[in-house]
Structures are given as structure tokens and as C-alpha cells.
Structure 1
Amino acid sequence: MTQLIKVWDIPGGVHPPENKAQSLTEPLTPLAIAPQLILPLNQHIGAPAKVLVEVGQKVLGGQLLAEADGVFSAHVHAPTSGTVAAIVEHVVPHPSGMTDTCVILDTDGDDHWLALDEAPEYQSLDKTALLARVRAAGIAGLGGAGFPTAVKLNPRANQVIDTLIINGTECEPYITADDILMQNRADEVIAGTQILSKLLGEPGRVVIGIEDNKPEAISTLREAAKGTTIEVVSFPTKYPSGGEKQLIQILTGREVPAGQIPASIGIVCQNVGTTAAVYRAVRFGEPLVKRITTVVGEALNTQRNVEVLLGTPIRFVLEQHGFNEKKASRLVMGGPMMGFSLPDTSVPLVKTTNCILAPTRKELPAPSPAQACIRCGMCAEACPADLLPQQLFWYAQSEDLEKLEAHNLFDCIECGACSYVCPSHIPLVQYYRAAKGEIRQHRIDKEKSDRSRRRFEFRKERIEKEEAEKEAKRLARKKAAEAAKKKLAEQKAATPTAGDSATPAAQPSAVDNDKQRAKLERLVAAAEDSLKQAQKPQDDATDEQLEKQQARIKQAEVKLAGARDKLAALGAAPSKPAAATEPASTPKPATDDPVSAAIERAKAKATMSPEEKLRSSLESLYKRLAKAEDKAREAREQESDKAEALEQGVAKLKEKIASSQKELDELTPTSVAEPTPRDPSTSDTTADAASSAIEKAKARAAAMSTMSVADKLRNQVDSLEARLEKSRARLAKAEADNDDNIDAFKSGVEKLEIKLAATREQLSEHNEQA
């Protein structure tokens, strides 16, 4: 039946000595627990795991030490019980001998474990639950690459998998770890294959590929696969048949396109060791903490396959096999074709360690010195990827990265077949690895450069856009100013000259005065707001900043004073007749002088009877009440914060009106219209008060007439300071009593402060001019 299954050949390939019999003479054996385990956080392709434990913490076997950090990452578990001794940088398995973060675990020898989450009925689990158990076990590819298995078993939605291939080829010389696994645990391999098939949606074809140099493994697997749809296919031995793309070509005849993965053509390939680990993770909840490794080489007394805990130092493994350091030419992790020399025996065994090779100098002599390329073309004949190794070598030497990429350098699987057949002993693979590293670094640098360039271009574009917007606004303002000037010129041309002032059209209308007054009021409000903004305190301000703030305050005060002066000048000449706004009982002053006007009002008041005074007071109070009620109503409609204060003012005016009305009623008990003789004592007292007021006004007027401008300004400053002190005292009392009118008190204090600052500025300017 199996002879009818077609297989294909691959180009190139070599037939090095297999040297597999040495490690198969003894049965599979578990290795003892080392006193100390070294567990790197990155034993896979992708991001390193994130540490969860602390130094000094006791852990049990199977406990999570570091969790996967992202999708392309894998968990790291404790292989046995012990204490976390350190979390430090330690040398790890790598051709460069680099170091990486590792968790150092001192084992206690008791091998106590956490209770595992077994699943006897795992066949009934859905795909999500199966994938979660695989990911929780921290499984990565055990064939050498170390790709996180959970990612590989979760292809994209547009990648329909029609073929699942289980790789049991193990074509590298010396290595027999997969061979002995298939011989001893064929049932686990078949059960794991069925789990993988379910996770991938039951592909139409499931095949296990094995080279024909492993007859016992082939026989055992075929026996275990009876009753299933799994095919066990053997094919001729040739290195490197075990490469993923090469095995796919052998079993399906299809080729994976350059730069793509097998899933893009509907195929997933897994190693037999990975497949068995998947079964144990799903069935028993067992994390990946150990693996089968081939320990071989003539520098060892014992050559065999062992099941060893991850993190075990290579030194400990060699000691258990009688390592003779004097006989060894080197230590190699992996096989002689694709492995690399170990710089230190303290390097730990990790998830991808399938072989430890300790050859003698006779068994694996040192490489001969490289000679010049003779252009024989044997490397091209041996290449399984159909590349031109000779061309790649020349471009790598000349660091021509563009030509290397053009000749598909990244399709090289670094199998070493070209180096093996090279008669000049040129280490071609080392050149390719170095060139790949340079190209990757070049790509990273180019990406950084492109990001920087894009940021620069975006910044430049943003600055240009802002400058264009500023220029557009400037032009718009200029255009608006020119239009305003033109309109003003037209208005002036249409307005009669001063010589025609006798005509009614020359007199400014009340509407124009109202517009001008509204404009000036807006200017005053804007100046007050600017002054408030300038007076805001600055925390942690420097002396220079404080000086600038003072300059801004001074400038704002000057603008505010100028605006107020203009508003006052406009208000000094009201558009309405004065007689229309004054009480009928109050005679019109004969002069515009405020002192003379006060004297005239005091004289008129002195000649009035008490009843007339009350009537005049009531008339004034009623007018004030009407205005106060209008303001209170507007405040309520606008939901202003001052509504309550205005209503209180209305109530006080009503109380005052009631009191004055009561006094008037007492003076005229019979009839309001009847004149009542004045009380001589009251009349004398009122006359004395009026005379006193007149005398004080005259004295103040006389004093003001003899005072200099500076003295007048000083008097104003003293008066304003006294008023400001009283206002601050009232504000403090209101804040202490939590008065509802705190905002009104604050506004009064701010106005007095502004007025005082403006007066002081005027006094200072006068002193400077003097």
C-alpha cells in the first residue's frame, strides 16, 4: 500500500556519513536532576517571556516562572521544585556566545509538582480549549527553529489547510532523538497528530514523513496508525530532506514561494517531538519542561539518548556521560552540518537542543584553511534551494546587499551542503549568516530613517500650513482695515463741515451718542479684562517674568484709564436735556462746576420744608425702586448670580419708602395737600446742617483751587486707599459670614484697586514730568 504513495525528489543534497548507530545502542533513559537549572526567558523565536517570580521564592514543578509577552512568545515553567536563586544575565546557546536574562533555579531534589489539569475526555474539547492548553504548556517547535506552536496551529482565516505533515525525517548526522521517540512513544505521536488535525480543521491529508534509514520507527508508527487516516510515508535518505520546505516538496510536489510560509499554500508542518508534547499537554496538562536529546561523540564514555530537564547545564550532562575534555576537539550543540560550537559548558539545554556532540579530533577535525574559489560549481549542484552559492559568496564579500537580496539570499536554509562539498574549504554558510545580519540591520536602520524623514516632512508641512494660515489672516485683517478706512472716508465726505454746524444735521443724534457710548463701554470692559489677566499671580515666576508682568499691568492700566476718560468725556455732554432727568423740585444748577452745583443744591434744600423734603426723597426713591426692579427682573430672567443681591436691594428700597411714607403721613395726618407749619426746631436744625454743608463745600472748593495737580492726585490716592481698606474689610467680613454677595464685594474691591493703580500711575507720570 505504501509503495503506491508517490514521493518527489529535491534538487541538490549530499550524503554525509550518518553516524546514527552509536546513540541507538542503549535504551532511552531519563537523566538525573541537576543541582541547578538555568532557564533562559527566550527559548523560542519571538519576544522573551516576562518574569513572574522573585529571588528567594520557592517554586514547584510545573509552576509558571515567566509568562508569554505577546503573541509570538511562549511560557517558561519550572522543570522541578526548588528555590529561585537569581534572575541574571547568563550565557545562552547561540553561535555568538551572547548572554541573556535567565532564571537560576536551585533544585531541592524532591521533585514536588503542582496538581496538573488533566483532561481524560480531551477528544470532546473544542478547538479554542485545545489551543489554550497548547499555549499554556509553553510548547515551541522542537525540531530546531523554536517557533511557538500555538501560533502555527492558528492560521489566518484566508489560509485553508488541506495537508498536515509530521516531520520524522531527522536527516542531520549523529542525531537520533526523534528516531528513538518514534520507536518508544509511537502512540503519543499518533494521538498528538490527531489533536493537531482537529485544531487545523481536519485537513484532507495527514502524513508522517520518515527517511528510509529508520526502519524500526517506520514499522512502529505504521502499527500505531492502523485504523486512522494518517499516512506513514518513507522516502530515500538524503541530506537535507528534513528541511521544512524540502519535506513539503518531497511529500506533495509543491514548492513554498519565496518569502512565504507553508500555510500560504495550505500546508502545516510539525516535528514529531512537538506532536508528542502537544498530546501530553492536552491529555495530562503537562507543560514543556523536558525533551529527548542525543548525547554522542567519541569523547564520551557513554553515547545514548536521554530525557533531560530544560535548563540543565551542558557540563552536568557531559559529566553523566564520562566526558573526556582532553580527547574532544570541540563541543557542538546540534549536528555537524547545522550545529554551532559552544563557548562554555555552563550553557543550559533549551527547548530546541536536540543533540550535544562531543567529537574527538580524529572524528571531527578542525576545518582546513579556506582557499580561493576555483569556480567549480559544486556548491550550486549541492544547494537544495536552487540558489547560486558562488555568486552569493562574492556579493557577501563585497557587501553588495542589493545583489544579495536580488539573488534570494533569504531562501538559504543554512544547511551547510555547499560548505560540505566545497574543495576550497570556504565556510560559505558563515558568510551568508553574516550577510543576513547586515541586511536585517540595514532594514532596521532604513525603517528608522524613513520614520524620521516622515516626521520631518510632517513637521515641515505643519509649519508651512500654519504660516499660510497666519498670512491669510494677516491679509484678511489688512483687507478689512482698508475697507473700514474707505467707509470712514466716505462717511466723512458725506458729513457737513464745522461751518455748517448751525444746521440740525450737524448735531450728533442720540442714536450716534448711544452707539459711541456702547463702543466705549466695550472698550472699558475689554481693558478691565486685560488688566485682570495681567494681574493674575504667577507661581514660581522668575524676576524677569515678574518685571514683564509689571510692564503688562502698567500698559493695561494706561489703556483702561484712557478708555474711562473717553467714556467720561462722552457722558459729560448728555444728548438729553438735563431738566428731563432731574427732579422737578430740584432747581437746575446755574453752572457746570460740581462744587457750585453742590452749593446750589444745599441752598435749595435749606429753604425746603420737611414735608417737601420727604416728598422729594420719596420721588427719588420711587425712581430708584423702578430701576432696581427692572435690573432684578432682568437678572432673574438671565439666571445671573447677582439676582439675589438685586432683590435684596429692592426690598431695602421698599423698606426705606415705607419709612419715608410713614414720616410723611405723620406730618400730614388730615390731608396730604394741606400745608403743615414747620417745626422751628427742625427747621433750625436742617438749616444748620445745610449751612454746615455749604461751608464745607466752599472750604473744599477754596482748598482745591489753591492746590497743585500733584496735591490733588495725592488727595485722591489717600481717599482711594481709605475706601479700599474699608472695602477689603467688608469683603473679609462677607467671606467670614459666607455672605451670598461675596462676588459683588470682590468686584468692588477690584474696581477700587484698578482706580487706585491708575491714579498712582498718573501721580508718578506727573512727578516724572516735573
Structure 2
Amino acid sequence: MSSLISPDIWPLPGGIHPPEQKSQSTATSIAAAPLPKRLILPLNQHLGAPAEPVVAVGERVLKGQLIAAASSNISAPVHAPSSGIVSFIGAQPYPHASGLEAEAVVIETDGLEQWIALAPLPDYLSVAPAVLLEKIRDAGISGLGGAGFPTAVKLAGAARQTIHTLIINGSECEPYITADDMLMRERTAELLSGIDILVHLTQAQQVLIGIEDNKPEAIAAVRAALGQRSYQLKVIPTKYPSGGEKQLIQILTGAEVPSAGLPADIGVLCHNVGTCVAVHEAVIHGKPLISRIATLTGAALQRPQNVEALLGTPINELLAFAGLNASQLDRLIMGGPMMGVSLTDAHAPLIKTTNCLLASTAEELPEPAPALPCIRCGDCEEVCPVSLLPQQLHFFALGQQHAQLHAHNLFDCIECGACAYVCPSNIPLVQYYRAAKGEIRELKAKQTKAEHSRLRFEQRQERLRRAEEQKEAERQARVARASQVRSAPNASIPTSKPEAPHSGPSDELKKLKIAASMAQVALKKAEKQLANHNTAELQKQVEQLQEAAQNAQQQLDKASAEAAAAAPAVASTTAISTAPSGDEAALKKAKIEAAMLRAQLRKLENLSEPDSTQQAELATVREQCAAAEQRLAQLQPAPSVPAPSASSAALKQAKIDAAMLRVQVRKLENLAEPTAEQHSSLLKLREELAAAQQQLSALSAPPAPAMAPSPGAVALKQAKIALALQRSELKKAQDAAADEATLEALRSALSAAEQALHQAEDASGKPPPQLVRTDKRPIDEVSRGLKTELAFARADLRKLERDPNSAPETLTAAQARIASIEQQLHEHQARL
């Protein structure tokens, strides 16, 4: 075979020579796979976004009809491989190593093979390139060599650059796979017709057809069919992975595609031979891509061969067609043994990128030996076709040193597996590289998100700064206008009293307070961002904001100290008549102290389960609050003008109390199944609401002539308040499960308060209240039982309604049960 090799080629760096195992499937011609009863068409059979269905379940489709349209620029449509009925659209088995399902359209074939009306373009030379490109796009053609990149996207991108060389990839370097070999042998005319169409589209100056020298029949067939065409057939040495796009370009042209670049960047475009035949079928015959040639091989098959099968054909049916011996099958691989993926579900369908199905036995592809530590032999470096340092990438991947992985060009790795093939320590190097690539992509996505968050934060801070500057400018303008008004001469109007000095903080102090507050707000938000996304940029930003906040606070403290120092001098220049008296200052201080103690008392009283320490603190705060209230009452000056009547304040408070009680009553009344405790609370609240409404009615009446309350009435009121407080303390202690000694002390205090109330009532001279008792009809046991059963039935129905797996008949039975109980209850109450 070495005599077939073309002289003007460049050697491929690295590479290996694994056993070819290609003769198993080349003994017979390409066979037509039988029509399956069920076709499964995944919506994503290519690189890019999955297609979107344009058919509905129950719809009849024809062969070649569009069933899913491309959803974005990098996408490809899907067509019906045969006529039939769409039976399902949803998740179906998908040929992937993960074993996860994917969205698909399922067609039940009718066996009629009825085509849609085709629109061929045999005279494509007279058609505009844009129309021809749209024809290829509508046919749903993607690369059939294994990558699956949409062909129309590849051609459209190349159209924006000058393409001087078109390379046709017929090397098919991976072991076992012979689909391209048999296609070049048997469909040479269609292959060259497809190349002609691509040349017309790209206007390439030269065409290079690369075929490995282990395919003499294909080489002879292509050379004989070239005729007068100027295309160059290049026979290259058999070496893996010479079929890689960038590797084949280097072998045939000597030019290297730059790192992270595309072949079009150096004026080259590469297409697989199967893709060329698909382009011929789409343009010359108007047929979309609905079938492909796939290699069925492996020692577990009795009849290894190449078949042309419809897309969507279940893989298990193709294996059965090739005579699968299920007892010998150890692994099922889609693709070759070097870069293929193991499948876990043989019911997955054939897709556009399925060029081979390898059914191997345990002896044919044994399990790899356990991995051992790297011995730094350098064999992996020698066989790398991209001239990388695989052992260094392995160590950097283990240490998650992403910067070093970038520096050593990890993403130039084509994952061919040559390094792992020759590794004497059996290290699965490619798996480490794939995992590292995934980690880097995920980290990059997080960094991009964090950068977007940082930009949004900075933009918001800028908006706040501009808004604050605008407010400050408006305030300064108002101050200037006020100064002009005060400085204007106005002698005709005498001043009734001297102008009081400005009692508030200066403008500069206000500005410093605002700046310090904004700096604190910005710092807190930045710290929150840092907690969510810990990056070096955010850490640096937090440090800068912390420094700014400290500076702002220092300036504020300094200005506050200066203002405090200047306060006595200002006070000395103020008229004595305008300075507050000592009584006023004491009164103000007493008000603040009383307000703070009231707030602390409310906080302690709102505790649901106070412990002994909190109860002691509550008693202390209550005493302090009473003393503060007494001091405040002593310092209150006698009103110089008639103060608002106490009745208006009492009326307002009564309205508030009645409104709050009504809200609590409605809340308890709306409960579907109140507990006994809630029912008791509801009764108590109703009594309190009635009393509050009665008090509100009394206060709303026209006020009677003011009369000073008698000492007995005052004592009675205080006794009632003391009794209410003792009851509240006892109830809180019972709810908190206090010890028996504490409860006994509270009960004694409550008894003493009740006794004091009775004595106050006797001393007040008020007539005893007339008790009116209402005899309620007790509920009978039958009604009670029916109501209880009805409540349980309703609860069961609600539970069934919340469960999405509940059967309709179960719901119907539950509803019937409720209706029956309600009928029994109604009949029983009617008899009472």
C-alpha cells in the first residue's frame, strides 16, 4: 500500500496504529435496513440548539415532510423518514453515554413510503448561491463524519471569507468503521456530484480528496470517476487520528489551523464524504437527510455489514438485522473504540451522527486494567497529534490548576484517546481532560455572571450618586433662595421677636452623615455580592469600600466633635429668653426614658415562652416603667390652654381596640377546622369584642358634665388593672410550662388581686352588676359524631385533591361520602 501514498503530503506529528478490524464489515455491499414499525426522531441530532416540533400528535406525515424546524442559527431541521402517524412527542431514549432521555417525535409507520412533492434543482449552476445554501439548510444536513455541525452554517461562515482549498475527508481513520469506505466504493458518482455543488458554492481554487492507503478499492473507484475534473486525490498513510479535521488539513496542505481558530481562518474548508452525498441528494433530487450509512460490526454480530437505515430506527432492530448474539454482547458502542460512547439502552434510535454501532464481546474489548501512578515515561507526548504535553495536563487537571491548563492549551486537545492508548499505567487521560474542560467552562460561566453583577452594582451606585448630587444641588438652591429672602430690606414690618439660632446640625455635618450612610450601604451590598460570588475582583472592591466607609466615618466623627465643641460658644450668644429651662430639659429626658422603657416592656411581654430570667427582667422593667411614668407625671406642667378632653383620646383608643378585636375574631372564624384551644380563644375574643363595642358606644354618646371621679372609683379601676395584669402573667407562665413553685406564687398573687378587687367594689358604692345568663342548647351526641365524621371526610378529600396521583374514582367516592354525611346531619337536625 505504501506505493499508493502521494508524495506531496506532510507527516502527521504523533499518532498511533491500533488494530484496524475493518475487514469484518466490508465483505458485503451496503444493505438496506428493513422499515421499522416505529421511528424515534430526537429533536437534537446535531451540534447547536434542538429543533422545535411543527407537527401534532395524531397528525399523518409523509416521507420527507418537515416535522421539526430549526430553532436558531446553529440548528438543523428534522424530517419524517417515512410516512405514518405521529403517535407521541416527548422524552424518549437517546444515544448518549449518560443514558438520559431527550425530546423526540415518534412516528408509527404505515408501510406506504409515500413521499411529499420534491423540488429538485438539477440545474444548480444557474441558481444564486443564497438559494442553493437555503436548499441545503432546509434539507437538515449536518456533518456525517461524527461531529454533526450543521453544514449550512459551516458554508455560510465560509462565505464571509476567501476559501482557496476545499478538502474532502475520506480518511476514516478509526478502527472498525467502514461506512465512508463503502460509500466511496459504491456511490462515487453521487460523491463527486456533491463535491461539484460545494465547489460552486465556495468558489474554491483547488479540491483535495484525502483517503488513507488502507482503502485501495475506494481509491481506485474515486480515481476512475474523477475523469476530467481537476480535483486532486491524495492518498495518505494509515495512521490514527489522521481523520481529524485539523490533522487532515495539516497532512494535505502543511498549514496548521491556529489555536482556538477555524479552518476558514486559513482559507480552508473541510467536509466529510457522506456530507457530500447528502448535499447531492438534497440539490439534485430535492430529498432531505432522512437516512445514512452506518457500520454494524463487532464479534457479537453474526453478519457484520454496512447498512443504509432510516434515521430514527431503533438500534436493537438494526443489531437484530445483523444477527446479534445477546449472550456474547459485553459493550455496545456508538462510534469507534477510540472516540465512541458506550450506550446503556439499545432501544435508542439511529441519529445523523451514528456512523457505527460496535457490539463487542468481553474478549474483543476487555476492561482496562486499574490505573497506576504516572511514571513520566513520555509515551503520551510522543503520540499526541496536537503536540501537547498530556502528562503535564494530567497533573494540572488533578490539581485543578486552571491557569496552567489554559497556558498548556488544554482546549486544543481533540480527545482522540491516543495518549491513553499508549499509557503503560493505564491512566484514563481523556476522562481527566474532559472533566477539566467542564470545570473551566462552569467557572467561566460563574465569572461571567459575577462580572455582570458587578457591572449592575456599579451602575446602580453611579445612579444613586447622581441622584444624591441632584438632591444636594436642589437643597443648596433652596438655601440660597432663603438667604436672599432673609437679606432683603423689610423695614416696614417690625420684628416681633429675635431670630432664633439654627438649632439643627450644620449643612456640612448633614452632608458628611449622608456620605457615611451611603458608604455603609454600598459596603453591605458589596459584602453580600462577595458572599454569593467569591472572586478576586469583588474582594478588592469590598476592601476599597471598607476603606471609603472608614474615611467617611472618621470625617463625620471629627465634624461632630467640632460641632459639639462649638455648641457652648453658640449657646452663650443666645438670648436667655430663648434657651430651654432646666425643667424643660428634665421633662424631655423623662419622656425619652419612659418611651424607651415602654418599648422594652412591650418587647418582653410579646415573648411567647419567657424563661425565668426573662420573667424577672419583665418584673424589673415593669417597676422601672411605673416609676418613669410617675416622674413624667410630676414634671408635666399645668396646661396654660384647655387640653383636649380625655374622652376624645379614650374614644380613639376604644375604636382601635374594637377594630383589632374584630380582626382577630374574623381570623379565627375563617379557620376550617379550629382546635379546642382556638375555639376557646374565639369565645373569649367575642366577649371582649362585645365589651369593647359597648364601651365604644358609651364613649360615642354626648359627653355628660365633667365630674371628678371619686376616690373609690379610682381605687376600683386600679384594682381591675392589677387583676388583669396578674391573670396575664399567670397565663404566660402556664404557656411557658413554668415550674410549680412559680405557678403557685402567681396563683396566690391572683387571689390577692381578686380579693382587693372585691374590697374596692364594696368601698366604691357601686351597685353590683346584674348577671344575665343565657341557657344555650347543648349539642346532642349524634350531631357531634356526624359533624366530627364530616370534618374528617372533608380533610380526606382535600388531601386527595392535593395528590396529583389520586385516581378520579377515589375523588368521586370521597365527594359522595361527604354528601351522604351532610344529608344525614341535615335530616337529624330537622328531627330535633
2: CA distance between counterparts of 1:168 and 1:223?
16
1: CA distance between counterparts of 2:153 and 2:472?
56
Q: Which residue of 2 aligns with 1:227?
A: 228
Deviation per CA, 1:650-679: give whole Å up to 9, x if none. xxxxxxxxxxxxxxxxxxxxxxxxxxxxxx
2:89 to 87, 90, 103: 87
1:312-711 aligned at under 5 Å gives the runs 312-487=313-488, 490=489, 492-493=490-491
Question: How far 1:309 sits from its partner (Å)?
Answer: 0.5
2: CA distance between counterparts of 1:237 and 1:440?
35
The residue type equivalent to 2:338 in the other structure is M
The residue type equivalent to 2:435 in the other structure is A
1: CA distance between counterparts of 2:330 and 2:6?
46
Deviation per CA, 1:97-152: give whole Å up to 9, x if none. 22211111111121111111122322321201110110010000000110000011
Question: How far 1:230 sits from its partner (Å)?
Answer: 1.0
Work out the percentage of aligned pairs sharing the same amino acid. Answer: 54
Q: Which residue of 2 aligns with 1:190?
A: 192
Question: How far 1:155 sits from its partner (Å)?
Answer: 2.3
1:95-134 aligned at under 5 Å gives the runs 95-134=97-136
Assess, with a 3 A threshold, how the Cα gap between structure 1 residues 158 and 29 changes in structure 2: closer, same or farther: closer
Question: How far 1:5 sits from its partner (Å)?
Answer: 5.3
Deviation per CA, 1:520-553: give whole Å up to 9, x if none. xxxxxxxxxxxxxxxxxxxxxxxxxxxxxxxxxx
The residue type equivalent to 2:433 in the other structure is Y
Local SS of the residue matching 2:484: helix
2: CA distance between counterparts of 1:295 and 1:7?
32
1: CA distance between counterparts of 2:212 and 2:186?
17
- Asked if structure 2 preserves the Cα contact closer than 8 Å seen for 1:39 and 1:104, the reply is yes
- Asked if structure 2 preserves the Cα contact closer than 8 Å seen for 1:171 and 1:241, the reply is yes
2: CA distance between counterparts of 1:307 and 1:236?
28
Deviation per CA, 1:546-569: give whole Å up to 9, x if none. xxxxxxxxxxxxxxxxxxxxxxxx
- Asked if structure 1 preserves the Cα contact closer than 8 Å seen for 2:121 and 2:286, the reply is yes
- Asked if structure 2 preserves the Cα contact closer than 8 Å seen for 1:329 and 1:366, the reply is no
2: CA distance between counterparts of 1:246 and 1:116?
38
Assess, with a 3 A threshold, how the Cα gap between structure 1 residues 420 and 453 changes in structure 2: closer, same or farther: same
- Asked if structure 2 preserves the Cα contact closer than 8 Å seen for 1:34 and 1:312, the reply is yes
Question: How far 1:310 sits from its partner (Å)?
Answer: 0.6
Local SS of the residue matching 2:460: helix
Q: Which residue of 2 aligns with 1:48?
A: 50
Question: How far 1:191 sits from its partner (Å)?
Answer: 0.9
Q: Computing the radius of gyration over CA atoms, which structure comes out larger, 1 or 2? A: 1
Question: How far 1:91 sits from its partner (Å)?
Answer: 2.7
1:44-83 aligned at under 5 Å gives the runs 44-83=46-85
Assess, with a 3 A threshold, how the Cα gap between structure 1 residues 3 and 338 changes in structure 2: closer, same or farther: closer
The residue type equivalent to 2:327 in the other structure is K
The residue type equivalent to 2:56 in the other structure is E
* Unaligned ranges ≥5, structure 2: 496-702, 707-832
Question: How far 1:192 sits from its partner (Å)?
Answer: 0.6
Deviation per CA, 1:626-663: give whole Å up to 9, x if none. xxxxxxxxxxxxxxxxxxxxxxxxxxxxxxxxxxxxxx
Assess, with a 3 A threshold, how the Cα gap between structure 1 residues 382 and 497 changes in structure 2: closer, same or farther: closer
2: CA distance between counterparts of 1:166 and 1:140?
15
The residue type equivalent to 1:328 in the other structure is L
1: CA distance between counterparts of 2:40 and 2:369?
35
The residue type equivalent to 1:277 in the other structure is A
1:196-235 aligned at under 5 Å gives the runs 196-200=198-202, 202-235=203-236
Local SS of the residue matching 1:37: strand
2: CA distance between counterparts of 1:220 and 1:308?
23
Local SS of the residue matching 2:157: coil
Question: How far 1:2 sits from its partner (Å)?
Answer: 8.7
The residue type equivalent to 1:196 in the other structure is L
- Asked if structure 1 preserves the Cα contact closer than 8 Å seen for 2:158 and 2:269, the reply is no
2: CA distance between counterparts of 1:96 and 1:169?
29
1:293-304 aligned at under 5 Å gives the runs 293-304=294-305
Assess, with a 3 A threshold, how the Cα gap between structure 1 residues 66 and 2 changes in structure 2: closer, same or farther: same
Question: How far 1:279 sits from its partner (Å)?
Answer: 0.8
1: CA distance between counterparts of 2:214 and 2:242?
12
The residue type equivalent to 1:443 in the other structure is K
Local SS of the residue matching 2:308: strand
Q: Which residue of 2 aligns with 1:15?
A: 17
- Asked if structure 2 preserves the Cα contact closer than 8 Å seen for 1:188 and 1:279, the reply is yes
- Asked if structure 2 preserves the Cα contact closer than 8 Å seen for 1:311 and 1:348, the reply is yes
Tell me how many residue pairs correspond in the alignment: 495
The residue type equivalent to 1:368 in the other structure is A
Local SS of the residue matching 1:155: helix
Local SS of the residue matching 1:332: strand
Deviation per CA, 1:391-419: give whole Å up to 9, x if none. 11111112222221221111000101001
The residue type equivalent to 2:340 in the other structure is G
Q: Which residue of 2 aligns with 1:727?
A: none
Residues 1:25 and 2:27 are matched in the alignment = yes
The residue type equivalent to 1:428 in the other structure is L
- Name which of structure 1's ranges 13-22 and 463-472 shifts more when overlaid on structure 2: 463-472
User: What TM-score do you get using the length of structure 2 for normalisation?
Assistant: 0.58
- Asked if structure 2 preserves the Cα contact closer than 8 Å seen for 1:118 and 1:282, the reply is yes
Deviation per CA, 1:694-716: give whole Å up to 9, x if none. xxxxxxxxxxxxxxxxxxxxxxx
Question: How far 1:443 sits from its partner (Å)?
Answer: 1.4
1: CA distance between counterparts of 2:253 and 2:50?
35
- Asked if structure 1 preserves the Cα contact closer than 8 Å seen for 2:5 and 2:235, the reply is no
Residues 1:264 and 2:285 are matched in the alignment = no
Q: Which residue of 2 aligns with 1:160?
A: 162
The residue type equivalent to 1:442 in the other structure is L
Local SS of the residue matching 2:156: coil
Question: How far 1:241 sits from its partner (Å)?
Answer: 0.2
Deviation per CA, 1:163-212: give whole Å up to 9, x if none. 10000000000000000000011111111111111111x21111111011
Question: How far 1:4 sits from its partner (Å)?
Answer: 6.8
2: CA distance between counterparts of 1:237 and 1:108?
45
- Asked if structure 2 preserves the Cα contact closer than 8 Å seen for 1:61 and 1:112, the reply is yes
Local SS of the residue matching 2:90: strand
Question: How far 1:75 sits from its partner (Å)?
Answer: 0.3
- Asked if structure 2 preserves the Cα contact closer than 8 Å seen for 1:2 and 1:233, the reply is no
Assess, with a 3 A threshold, how the Cα gap between structure 1 residues 157 and 187 changes in structure 2: closer, same or farther: closer
2: CA distance between counterparts of 1:418 and 1:258?
20
2: CA distance between counterparts of 1:348 and 1:274?
20
1: CA distance between counterparts of 2:229 and 2:28?
31
Q: Which residue of 1 aligns with 2:528?
A: none
1: CA distance between counterparts of 2:408 and 2:493?
92
Q: Which residue of 1 aligns with 2:255?
A: 254
The residue type equivalent to 2:143 in the other structure is G
2: CA distance between counterparts of 1:218 and 1:241?
16
Local SS of the residue matching 2:331: coil
2: CA distance between counterparts of 1:473 and 1:285?
72
The residue type equivalent to 1:82 in the other structure is G
Q: Which residue of 2 aligns with 1:565?
A: none
Q: Which residue of 2 aligns with 1:555?
A: none
2: CA distance between counterparts of 1:256 and 1:477?
68
1:689-768 aligned at under 5 Å gives the runs none
- Asked if structure 2 preserves the Cα contact closer than 8 Å seen for 1:335 and 1:355, the reply is yes
* Unaligned ranges ≥5, structure 1: 499-766
Question: How far 1:497 sits from its partner (Å)?
Answer: 8.1
Question: How far 1:472 sits from its partner (Å)?
Answer: 1.1
Q: Which residue of 1 aligns with 2:279?
A: 278
Q: Which residue of 1 aligns with 2:177?
A: 175
The residue type equivalent to 1:118 in the other structure is P
2: CA distance between counterparts of 1:157 and 1:273?
21
The residue type equivalent to 2:334 in the other structure is M
